[in-house]
Amino acid sequence: METRRLYNRIAVLRSERGISRKDLAAAIGVNYQTVGYLERGEYNPSLDLAFKISEYFGLSVEFIFSTKPLKPLSEELHARRREEG
């Protein structure tokens, strides 16, 4: 059975908040290399790990992970503002 690729915003979220891979890894209980694998899409997180990442950033799992390529955050924010306006 082929594993479905998950796209994520981990690198962007880390960068925005000035968090290193090692800091994130320590906070969620994994090796820092695992964070790199996740960011590059070389490894899909377990459901538990996805929730740990979600809780760490204070964002929904669906905002961080997707089965489809994610839009840039700026584009998504503009779209949400148009919907609300």
The arithmetic mean of pLDDT across residues 2-23, rounded, is 94
Predicted pLDDT of residue 20: 98
The arithmetic mean of pLDDT across residues 3-17, rounded, is 94
* pLDDT of 78 higher than 90: no
Find all residues with CB under 8 Å of 52, minimum gap 6, and list them.
28, 29
In the DSSP assignment, the letter for residue 78 is H
Note the CATH architecture for domain 7-84. Answer: Orthogonal Bundle (1.10)
Over residues 14-63, the pLDDT tens digits come to: 999 999 999 999 999 999 999 999 999 999 999 999 999 999 999 999 99
For the chain, the 3-state helix, strand and coil shares in percent, each to the nearest 5, are 60, 5, 35
The widest CA-to-CA distance across the chain, in whole angstroms, is: 44
Domains of the chain, residue spans: 7-84
The pTM of this model reads 0.84
